[in-house]
Every structure is written in structure tokens, then in C-alpha cells.
Amino acid sequence: MAEPLYGGRRPQLLAVDDDDLNLMMISRAFQNEADVVTKNSGLDALAWLAEHSADLVMLDLRMPGMDGFDVLRAMKSQPQTADIPVIFLTGDIGVELESRGFTEGATDFVRKPFVPDVMRQRVRRVLRYEYLQDHLEQEVHRQTDLAEQRLAESQALFKEMAMALAKTIDAKDKYTHGHSERVAAYSQLLAAQDGEDETEQEHIYYMGLLHDIGKIGVPEEIINKPGKLTDEEYRIIQSHTTIGSSILKDIKTFPGLSIGARFHHERYDGKGYPDKLAGEKIPAQARIIAVADAYDAMTSSRSYRKGLPQEVARSEIVKGRGTQFDPHVADLMIALIDADTNFTMRDHEEET
């Protein structure tokens, strides 16, 4: 039994020749391994191809009316036939003819008079190549779809885990429920206001969401202390920046995630912590998160005060412009506050 040529199914061949004897020989040569359709002219072949599909065309080069080159050009001009491999059948293969044939898109040549075994081997080689090419493209598409699916699932898992971590962090401080999510949202708004694309907006959202992750390493009694912190307690609170950076810095799928955690308490005038960076030496994302963090801290209630009204928070941001805050980012936040006439950025009543 003949070896399958085309992935286990019988391929369909179209043989075109004005000599019926040649067509009969082709049909007999492939009777055990392919379905062969025969046509006596180029016009008949093109008419058949307009309504049917072929895996390969065996095309006589010298025919009255339309010769093989005419048929090949017509096939290449139509999307449904342009990619069908064509083997020319000819008795006068020369260098120039062969070069022209390959230039115009022929796949191979078979010399007349036919040697059945040679003809079968050439057709098999072309069909195997075409099958492998088609199979490879399908496999590439399948693997691409699979990779995209896995990436989407990985991103969804990351988002769920990041949200869960943020809620875990906020749960340690009974006075700042939802703080991390709000800082993330404000940071994203500021990035959008600054003209950043959606990818960068998403990045800064997650930097903001996890900016306080280092508080996992700070005792709850210090975080929730109602009175003034001692110098040692304040030093421990400050350590949440370096703890958070250490936790996030090795996440390879999201490089830069640790930026918000480490630098959101740096000040524009260089008097912040932990590294006392100043001006544009502070990463741009951290300068945004610093303003978002300060705004939410001011408008949230604490054990010792209620959340500040919107106009007071605005005045504090104006006051800190150029000292605590990057002037440009401060201006962006002021613009957002001025546009938020109904105080919808922060549901003040929830906190009071």
C-alpha cells in the first residue's frame, strides 16, 4: 500500500495536458495514492479551479491556446489559486526555460516522456513539503494562541494576587481600608492625565497597588498606634519602603514593580526616604504615586482626625509643590481636583 502523501488523506491532483495519453499515464501513476482530475486545456483547467480546490497542478508547458506560462500567471493572479504548487510537464527543459519557470512561480519540472517512478517521487516531495509547510503554519498559530491564552491567564492570576496582597496590607491598618486600591486608581488617573499609554497606565496602577506591601514586615501595633510614634517606631515604619522593594524586585514578569514600593516617600527636595533622592533622580512613576498617596492619606480619616475636605487637600498639595512633590505632578493632581467638583475621587463619607 502506498505511503500517505498528504497527512494521511488522499491529495487531489489536477493534470493539464492536450495529450490524452499523457493524462492517462498520470492517472495510472497516482491511482493508488491520489485523486487525479484531468483537463485538456488551460481554459478548462482554470474553469475547474474556479469552483474546486487542488493540492497540486501538473501543467503541460506547451499547449495550443493558453500555454503553461499563461495558465500559471492566471493562477498567480487569483487569491484562491495563487498558492497551489505547480509542476511543469515538458520535453525540452533548458537552463533559460527552467529559470523562467521558477521565476514565474513554478515549483518543479517533470521531463517528458514520463518515467512514472521519477514523476511520483517529485510529486511526493512537493506534496510533503506543502503539507509540512501548512502543518507548521497551523502549529505556529496553535502555539501562538496557546501562548496568548497562557499569558492572559498569567496576567489574570497576577492581578488577582496583587489585589489580594493589597487587601492584606490594608487590613493591617484599620483606618486605611481601600487605601492601596485608591492610590493605584489615582496614580493611573495621573498617568493618563500626563499622556501615558494604556500599558504604562496599567504598570503604574500595579506599582501603586503594591506600594505599601512592605508594611507586611511592620508590627500592627506600630501601624495602628493612635499617638505619636517614637523615633525607633518611625524608623521601623520607614523600613516598609525597603522591605517592599526587596519583596517585589525579583518579579521578572513585571520589571520595575518595586519602584513604587521603594521610592514613594522620596521628596522632590531630597528630604524624603529611604535614599534621599531629589528631583528627577526619583523615578517618574514614584513621583506620581507620592502625590496619589499623599492625597489619599489627607482625605482619609485617622484615629486622631477626620479626612480633610477636598479644598484643604488641594491647598496642601499646592503648598508642597516643588518641595514635597514634583511640580508637574502636583499640577496634574490640582487639575484633577479642580475638575472633581462633586468630590467623587474620594468618597469622603465612607471614611467619616
Q: Where residue 64 sits, what CATH number does that domain have? A: 3.40.50.2300
133 shares its domain with 266: no
Closest CA to 258 of 214, 292, 215, 293: 214
Structural domains counted in the chain: 2
Closest CA to 289 of 255, 247, 241: 241
Summarize the confidence of residues 237-256 as an average pLDDT. 89
101 shares its domain with 202: no
Is 265 inside any structural domain? yes
126 shares its domain with 224: no
CB burial string 141-162: b at 16+ within 10 A, e below:
eeeeeeeeeeeeeeeeeeeeeb
In this predicted structure, which of 36-45, 318-327, 340-349 has the lowest mean pLDDT? 340-349
117 shares its domain with 220: no
Is 157 inside any structural domain? no
Is 156 inside any structural domain? no
> Which pLDDT band holds residue 47 (cuts at 50, 70, 90)?
very high
260 vs 345, more confident: 260
Q: 91, 120, 142 — which closes off a domain?
A: 142
* CA 207-213-215 angle, 5° bins: 145
Q: Is a pLDDT exceeding 80 seen at residue 6? A: no
138 shares its domain with 198: no
Task: State the CATH number of the domain containing residue 179.
Answer: 1.10.3210.10
> Which pLDDT band holds residue 8 (cuts at 50, 70, 90)?
low
188 shares its domain with 52: no
> Which pLDDT band holds residue 317 (cuts at 50, 70, 90)?
very high
Is 209 inside any structural domain? yes
Model pTM score? 0.60
Q: Which residues constitute the domain of residue 298?
A: 172-351
217 shares its domain with 339: yes
125 vs 303, more confident: 125
Q: Is a pLDDT exceeding 50 seen at residue 239? A: yes
178 shares its domain with 77: no
Is 34 inside any structural domain? yes
Summarize the confidence of residues 287-316 as an average pLDDT. 86
CA 350 from chain centre, in angstroms, equals: 38
- Looking at residue 30, its amino acid is F
Is 154 inside any structural domain? no
Is 162 inside any structural domain? no
322 shares its domain with 217: yes
User: Residues 171, 181: contact at Cβ < 8 Å?
Assistant: no
127 shares its domain with 176: no
Q: Supply the pLDDT for residue 83.
A: 87
258 shares its domain with 195: yes
67 shares its domain with 206: no
Summarize the confidence of residues 50-63 as an average pLDDT. 91
> Which pLDDT band holds residue 1 (cuts at 50, 70, 90)?
very low
Is 286 inside any structural domain? yes
